[in-house]
A and B are shown apart, each in its own frame.
Chain A
């Protein structure tokens, strides 16, 4: 399946209608495709509204859908205003300097950099970058280890107890250790990455290693005996054996693991950011909580919805990648 085919899949009924006009069957399937989710959403919003009115906190009513919508627009507006302000500063600086230079071409002019305050959208960006880096780092470690322990039963026996003990550890338990170690080890005058970024990334990696590692190992160990026999008869060398036979067999399970890992990575990251006060969506939520203004709950709710939505999108992206990479085009991946 090509990338565009994968992208188009959810839109199939619509594309078909666009191409061929509406038939009765199409109309029914389109109606179903649209109406049921909308109905579900409507009921959910209604329940939410009712529940929100009945929950009173020290910061006022629990935010209902309307309040959340307002806060979302506020956040967008704040972001826009902030960016404009910075833009203006730069413009003023340019004008100032141009005037100076016009008067005296040899004048020394200063070009200063203005930083905008960190907005909600900056936090989203930070979180996304951190989660992706942590996830990629974890995958780079987990996949090779998974392959090795999948191929050799003795290395599996040696490593399995360690995996089983480390796997259930909560990210919050790792965090203090990681923070201390990074502070001690990662010392440089002009760091390429901020310490908080490194801490969040490593914590995320530590927690999302396991599903990928275990699933890769299971996939690698489960290569069918027939294919192993083919490999033996061909006397494939180790590298070709892994590349041509083991990895392709393991890909479906490996991706199952990767998807689980990415999901965990995203959850862990938010928690780590909250606890460690590292920039990102988690910190945003925590700051709002500490703020305690009447808007806070609404803004936290916006953040929660965004977190959920991003988690969903990340999973869909992995699914798409899985469909593209998977050789078994008949397999149902969901």
Chain B
């Protein structure tokens, strides 16, 4: 039995123009402690897959089974790191994590233990120095780290991350990637991460799940990344194996699933608009 199973997941959204089939027959098995990346072009349905695993969406057909139990509602054992951090702006970093810890551990941990646990998790993401600042007082990277600390503090069975570093600059992103690798190495979490970044996918993942373009997107290929851990980005830069994985993913994205962007028609449309304005 697999740790996490997605079985023949279909997803249809009702829209004013009729139903829109976003996912078609997504089948995926994930082992405990595995780090899986989802990669694919924008709008193909990556977030939809993640939201179904999180329980925020309900699959139209098929379903998700975690440790032999069907997933049918959201819960802290499937913590989510949201794309735009989603911290509560009126709470400090500490209080944001506290809210999560209190709801998960209020019965099993004492007050002092809860405090230690919150501080420990903020320490993990190197945020101890700014724990009592509010989201609007810290940088984007720091917010994202608090978001990760909040998710980690729930001790989830699966950690779901939706483009966690998408909005960050390259340096901060590299830094956070290292943090996540370090934490996963230490805690052995099972992680599903959505990304647009090929390097990020290869560097962090055990497997890269490549999705075809929507509508009715499904899994195109799965690439197993057998690089030794711990991985070091500098050493890997010249590693032929690493570059092979990289080009595999690139080939999938830009040859096999080339997004047929209607650039010419888009141009025409904007041209039309301009002429209308004039």
Contacts and interface: CB of A to CB of B under 8 A. Distances in A.
Contact of A235 (B75, B82, B91, B134): B75
A227 B74 contact: no
B79 interface: yes
B76 A233 contact: yes
B78 A233 contact: yes
Nearest to B78: A233
A229 B86 contact: yes
A235 B86 contact: no
A227 B87 CA distance: 8
21 contacts: A226-B86, A227-B86, A227-B88, A229-B82, A229-B86, A230-B86, A232-B55, A233-B56, A233-B74, A233-B78, A233-B79, A235-B73, A244-B91, A245-B88, A248-B90, A327-B90, A327-B134, A328-B89, A328-B90, A328-B136, A330-B136
A248 B75 contact: no
A151 to B, nearest CB: 18
B190 to A, nearest CB: 16
Contacts of B73: 232, 235
B104 to A, nearest CB: 8
Nearest to A327: B90
Contacts of B155: none
Contacts of A329: 136
A234 B99 CA distance: 8
A230 B135 CA distance: 15
A240 interface: yes
Interface residues of B, number: 24
A325 B109 CA distance: 32
Contacts of B88: 227, 230, 244-245, 248
B177 interface: no
Among all A-B residue pairs, the 9 with the closest Cβ atoms: A327-B90, A226-B86, A232-B74, A248-B90, A233-B74, A234-B103, A230-B86, A233-B80, A235-B75
A327 B89 contact: yes
Contacts, number: 53
B100 interface: yes
Contacts of B134: 327
Interface in A232-250: 232-236, 240, 244-245, 248
Interface of B: 54-56, 73-76, 78-80, 82, 84, 86, 88-91, 99-100, 103-104, 134, 136, 154
Contact of A234 (B76, B89, B136): B76
Residue from B80, B84, B104 having most chain A Cβ neighbours under 10 A: B80
A236 B103 contact: yes
A248 B134 CA distance: 14
B100 to A, nearest CB: 6
A261 to B, nearest CB: 23
Contacts of A234: 76, 99-100, 103-104, 154
A45 B166 CA distance: 61
Residue from B75, B86, B100, B136 having most chain A Cβ neighbours under 10 A: B86
Nearest to A236: B103
B82 A240 contact: no
Contacts of B74: 229, 232-233, 235
Interface residues of A, number: 17
Interface string A205-243: 000000000000000000000110110111110001000
Nearest to B56: A229
Contacts of A229: 56, 74, 80, 82, 86
A230 to B, nearest CB: 5
B30 to A, nearest CB: 19
A56 B105 CA distance: 78
Contacts of B84: 226
B56 A232 contact: yes
A226 B136 contact: no
Interface string A302-334: 000000000000000000000000011110000
Contacts of A233: 54, 56, 74-76, 78-80
B103 A240 contact: yes
Given A226-B84, A227-B86, A328-B136, 12 more contacts: A229-B56, A229-B82, A230-B88, A233-B56, A233-B74, A233-B75, A234-B154, A235-B75, A244-B99, A248-B88, A248-B90, A330-B136
A224 to B, nearest CB: 8
Contacts of A244: 88, 91, 99
Contacts of A245: 88
A236 B90 CA distance: 17
A229 B134 CA distance: 20
B147 to A, nearest CB: 10
A235 B103 CA distance: 8
Interface in A109-164: none
Contacts of B75: 233, 235
Contacts of A248: 88, 90
Contacts of B89: 327-328
